[in-house]
Amino acid sequence: MVVFDMRIAIAQIDSIVGDFAGNADKIVRFAVRARAEHAAELVVFPELALCGYPPMDLLDQESFAELSERSLRSLQNRLPRDIAVGVGYVGRNTMASGKALVNSYALLLDGTVAFEQEKTLLPTYDVFDEARYFESARERRVFAWKGERIGIAICEDLWWESENATGFRYAIDPVRELLDRGSTIMLVPSASPFVRGKFEVRRKLAERVASRGGIPVIYANAVGANDSIVFDGRSFVVAPASGSASAGPLGAASLRAVARGFEEDLLLWDSVAGNGKSSPAKAETNELDVIEEALVLGIRGYMQKCGFVRAHLGLSGGIDSALVAYLASRAIGADKLVCFGLPSRFSSEGSRTDARRLAENLGARFVMLPIEGAFEAYLDTLEEVFEGKPFDLAEENLQARIRGTLLMAYSNKFESMLLTTGNKSELAMGYCTLYGDMCGALAPIGDLLKTEVFALCRRINERAIQSDGEPVIPVETLTKPPSAELRPNQTDQDSLPPYDVLDAVLSLHLIDNLSRAEIVERGWTDELASRVVKAVARAEYKRRQAPPVIKVSPRAFGMGRRMPIARSPYEA
Amino acid sequence: MVVFDMRIAIAQIDSIVGDFAGNADKIVRFAVRARAEHAAELVVFPELALCGYPPMDLLDQESFAELSERSLRSLQNRLPRDIAVGVGYVGRNTMASGKALVNSYALLLDGTVAFEQEKTLLPTYDVFDEARYFESARERRVFAWKGERIGIAICEDLWWESENATGFRYAIDPVRELLDRGSTIMLVPSASPFVRGKFEVRRKLAERVASRGGIPVIYANAVGANDSIVFDGRSFVVAPASGSASAGPLGAASLRAVARGFEEDLLLWDSVAGNGKSSPAKAETNELDVIEEALVLGIRGYMQKCGFVRAHLGLSGGIDSALVAYLASRAIGADKLVCFGLPSRFSSEGSRTDARRLAENLGARFVMLPIEGAFEAYLDTLEEVFEGKPFDLAEENLQARIRGTLLMAYSNKFESMLLTTGNKSELAMGYCTLYGDMCGALAPIGDLLKTEVFALCRRINERAIQSDGEPVIPVETLTKPPSAELRPNQTDQDSLPPYDVLDAVLSLHLIDNLSRAEIVERGWTDELASRVVKAVARAEYKRRQAPPVIKVSPRAFGMGRRMPIARSPYEA
């Protein structure tokens, strides 16, 4: 019986896109720790850890590949000895045809590149554009070392046999080939973005491979936020039941160790001891809690990488801005957050009170800036050109734009980052004002449907009880009917279907990609389906000018959903 | 000697993305005309003419492929008899693996699909995302008909041997295969976007194929505007010198007929007569004139397809807004254009006069809306929160945002489309105000560097002389130093390098993808190169929220240049 015998570390790091020097320093630090603290023989870094993921069109610059290669060479000589270091980097395609680059993974050992494997399956759907830059690996080999045979499947390479979003199969199964070549261990360096439920998908895929091959699978995921994408970390090891390496392909595999979620970590797995020196995992059994962590990291990481220390937002007294304020206070600390009340002539007393109370609960500064003065000045200026036409959307949007302008003035004066508070239901239906409430550098909850916003707020209030016995988000904020308060007695349901209905249809249309006719087949009325599908199509021009949203669903607005603006709303 | 004998029509149509019914109707109309008026035996429509190009993520909806197939079937029975009709459409991939769809081309003849060819080379760079949706053709065949052998190379299929933007070669040369299979004519249905100088690139590629094979090449391009992309039409026929079909691969080929630029056309080419019943080509020898036509169509097409009849914009008295106003008046008629003067306390008398004069020259309505009232109201509202800090960027941007808000209020009240007037140099450097002068549904000159704006205005003024002997764009607008007029005595050159220097460096960085170090190697100072490269990186967050720009360069901002926001400005 062959017992796989190796001390392996997963270095789950947060790389900054394009920061070769900083990322290399971090790789050295983690490798030194893996060797010194854990006596690891192999340390596995994530996919493209050297340049960060996704580098996007920086890859089109010839200098990027040059820097990548230079950085890898200089890294070789800075790493500790007697430990193999697996590092993802951008290499050059040396074949006669195809894209200029490859998504590569090097095993560095004692000052040399001991082995290299390129990525075979290049995700080109959703937020991924890898076929834009990379050529597929020509071949898949295993690295014989210390009596083991190491196979490397980079992220999507594991995905061949999973149903994926666009429902297709790749022509090649890299993992099958690597198993056929006798891999005794499979490394899966990844930059796999967070999506609800994604950890279980990864784990099952890895377990299937581990069971099929009777070998351990080391899944090293990136962590950190990059624009719309949050990498959740949660790297892990799955392995067959003890001794099952001899049992062959049928040994059932299971989870042996998991790294922290949403922060950097160094996870050690000792194959002989049979289980990992696992980091203490956070209590993240509830998926809403995991989403909360993703959004907090999404805000924190974006701000850090963009160089912002302070943030601010407008508090309407409603649930969306309340949630964003709560998330921001967790991300950067309430002392670096300023909340603005921006009441209009249509704002209720309750809204003002709820906004102020939330800021107090969070411990954030609250500033009241009434918009009436600017509103009157605009109406005066526009009086003649408006030709006495009645109050309508123009006046409603004016108020939202005054708020956006005031918040941006604060941003410019104090170098504070404005957070946008819109949710996905609004963005979908165009129930938001371009250059108004859509102003901001980041839309933290732009991928949460309104019903998901409610669910998350209720969940937060279950845990976050103030010393006065009240929950952190004022109860009234959750119980009153949603309203933009841009005209007298307005509620969202004047303009939109009830949110539970709307979100159900939006989910079918946006996530499942169903057309009007298919939504009707699912039992919704033609009138409702048409109304929603048409509104979504019509609002594309607004979304094109929206800030990045933090992706938590399989299909978020932004780079993962690329729609034409000028088009016929076919089948609508 | 074999003489190729066929009457062929190119139907250069403007399809609307997703409008299967409307596009099919148009295809029928053009096919009827081709048969009835020209006795054509074959009519060639552009790539994906049935659904429009680019359909983008509409392709991810299962219903899209269904509709595409249903539309093709119903089209078959509506076409005239005795004429083969080549139509591009979205088909399904019937292979066991790969993406779900194919970019296909059907030859319809007397109620049946007589032949089909799928696209082999799938552009996945710049604005193109074809590998996101389509699988490559498994094989390339020729269609034997009327004694000829018809080969079909769809758009990029022709591009194998050209150097392209990202400098790579495809592994397959579809044209070589089609020639080897004995093609006696090559159809090249395309949706090839306009870019400066692109016609000559297409022509040379087609001539090379025609010369190599000693056969005619029928290049059928799409026409029309789709968001950022303008299809210029200018479909054409190249063929070897008369009788050279017998001379084989060495017969030099040349241009025989060209369809109109920037509008729909039906071009007939009679292979026996030896030349085409060419449409009267417009005088477009000057590349600036061609760019002007592209921008005019870009505005007109976008507005039509989005359902807008009227447009408006702010006139600063400067050259950018002057150019956009001129282009818009050409696109939709001056009677549907409203120009706003939006003077501030810092606006010079000259600016006001120049703005008004331009509107008069164009024959457009001019409305003056001073921003002082709103500006004072904002300063009052913000006084306390600004803590007495000195006038800075915050107050400058306030003014730009008041203008944006006023212009959007008009948009909302009168359903008029706001045009953004920023140029590429500004967008590159971030020398523009988000939610201020960046407001608008479309940025017509967002892909023109400032020096190109000057060149185009000078060219327009050469031709467009008023009855009073003065050029249409006031001379002062071209001669005074560019200024945003957001503080006293401000000029652009307080914040930016001289435009001729800036644009030269921007061109190296944005179009040629050169890094700071490479720009320095070209002879520019390190200080300048660093300043420009850093500013471009820092302004990415603004561009992400910019309206679509009309692409006229090989690398426009938008879908063709995908950059991370949160990143290290590496090498800067």
Map out the domains of chain A with their CATH numbers: 7-275 (3.60.110.10), 290-543 (3.40.50.620)
DSSP state, residue B215? S
| In chain B, % of residues over pLDDT 70 | 94
What's the confidence (pLDDT) of residue B133? 96
Q: In Å, how far from its chain's centre is CA B546? A: 17
**CA A403/CA A397 separation, integer angstroms:** 10
Mutation target among A68, A514, A565, A571 for the B interface, most CBs of B within 10 A: A565
**CA A412/CA A307 separation, integer angstroms:** 14
Mutation target among A16, A48, A132, A172 for the B interface, most CBs of B within 10 A: A132
Residue B149 CA neighbour count, 13 Å, CB half = 14
Q: What is the dihedral sign for C-alpha A53, A58, A62, A66?
A: negative
Instruction: Inspect the interface and report whether the beta carbons of B96 and A169 lie closer than 8 Å.
Output: yes
With CA atoms as reference, the chain A residue closest to B101 would be: A168
Strands in B147-290 per DSSP E: 148-152, 185-190, 217-221, 223-226, 229-232, 236-240, 253-258, 265-270, 276-277
Catalytically annotated residue among A41, A51, A118, A119: A119
* Residue A132, both tokens: 């834009």
Give the pLDDT mean for B80-98.
95
What's the confidence (pLDDT) of residue B157? 95
What's the confidence (pLDDT) of residue B144? 97
What's the confidence (pLDDT) of residue B492? 87
pLDDT, tens digit, for every residue of B141-151? 999 999 999 99
Residue among B215, B214, B212, B219 at smallest CA distance from B257: B219
What's the confidence (pLDDT) of residue B469? 81
Measured in angstroms, the CA of A35 and the nearest CA of chain B are apart by 29
Give the pLDDT mean for B280-302.
85
**CA B376/CA B381 separation, integer angstroms:** 9
* Residue A141, both tokens: 């080999």
Q: Is B119 a catalytic residue?
A: yes
**3-state class (DSSP) for residue B277:** strand
What's the confidence (pLDDT) of residue B283? 43
Please name the residue that has the structure tokens 């020898």.
B285
What's the confidence (pLDDT) of residue A547? 98
pLDDT, tens digit, for every residue of B20-41? 999 999 999 999 999 998 899 9
The beta-carbon neighbor of B226 closest among A380, A393, A564 is: A564
pLDDT, tens digit, for every residue of A484-509? 888 888 888 888 999 999 999 999 99
Give the pLDDT mean for B63-89.
96
* Residue B405, both tokens: 């808000």
**CA A319/CA A322 separation, integer angstroms:** 5
What's the confidence (pLDDT) of residue B467? 76
| In chain A, % of residues over pLDDT 70 | 94
Q: Is B339 a catalytic residue?
A: no
**CA A120/CA A123 separation, integer angstroms:** 10
The H or E element containing residue B287 is: helix B287-306
**CA A497/CA A495 separation, integer angstroms:** 7
What's the confidence (pLDDT) of residue B273? 66
What's the confidence (pLDDT) of residue B3? 58
Measured in angstroms, the CA of B165 and the nearest CA of chain A are apart by 9
* Residue B380, both tokens: 């009052």
Please name the residue that has the structure tokens 């939709």.
B332
DSSP string, A68-93: HHHHHHHHHTTSPSS-EEEEEEEEE-
What's the confidence (pLDDT) of residue A276? 56
Catalytically annotated residue among B41, B47, B156, B540: B47
Q: Is A119 a catalytic residue?
A: yes
Cβ contacts of A169 on chain B, cutoff 8 Å? 96-98
What's the confidence (pLDDT) of residue B482? 87
pLDDT, tens digit, for every residue of B409-441? 999 999 999 999 999 999 999 999 999 999 999
Give the pLDDT mean for A409-438.
98
Instruction: Inspect the interface and report whether the beta carbons of A544 and B544 lie closer than 8 Å.
Output: no
Highest mean pLDDT among A213-227, A240-254, B249-263: A213-227
**3-state class (DSSP) for residue A186:** strand
**CA B356/CA B366 separation, integer angstroms:** 7
**CA A252/CA A239 separation, integer angstroms:** 8
Cβ contacts of B60 on chain A, cutoff 8 Å? 125, 166, 513
Measured in angstroms, the CA of B406 and the nearest CA of chain A are apart by 7
Please name the residue that has the structure tokens 């000018």.
A545
**Three-state secondary structure readout of A373-421:** HHHHHHHHHHHHHHCCCCCCHHHHHHHHHHHHHHHHHHHHHHCEEEECC
Contacts of B390 (CB under 8 A, 6+ apart): none
- For residue B164, what pLDDT band results from cuts at 50, 70 and 90? low
The beta-carbon neighbor of B100 closest among A56, A67, A167 is: A167
Cβ contacts of B52 on chain A, cutoff 8 Å? 567
Q: Is B55 within 8 Å of B24 (Cβ atoms)? A: no
Residue among A198, A115, A116, A213 at smallest CA distance from A162: A198
Q: A54 preceded by cis ω (within 30°)?
A: yes
Q: Which is more confident, A131 or B465?
A: A131
- CA–CA distance from A263 to each of A224, A260, A297, B566 (Å)? 7, 6, 8, 17
Supply the ipTM of this predicted assembly: 0.94
What's the confidence (pLDDT) of residue A284? 53
Cβ contacts of B59 on chain A, cutoff 8 Å? none
Instruction: Inspect the interface and report whether the beta carbons of A62 and B439 lie closer than 8 Å.
Output: no
Q: pTM for this one?
A: 0.95
Q: Is the pLDDT of residue A283 over 80?
A: no
Lowest average pLDDT, out of A187-201, A396-410, B68-82, B271-285, goes to B271-285
* Residue A38, both tokens: 């854990």
Catalytically annotated residue among B51, B155, B339, B439: B155
- CA–CA distance from B305 to each of A59, A109, B224 (Å)? 34, 59, 10
Contacts of A565 (CB under 8 A, 6+ apart): A540, A541, A544, B227, B302, B306, B548
Mean pLDDT of chain B: 92
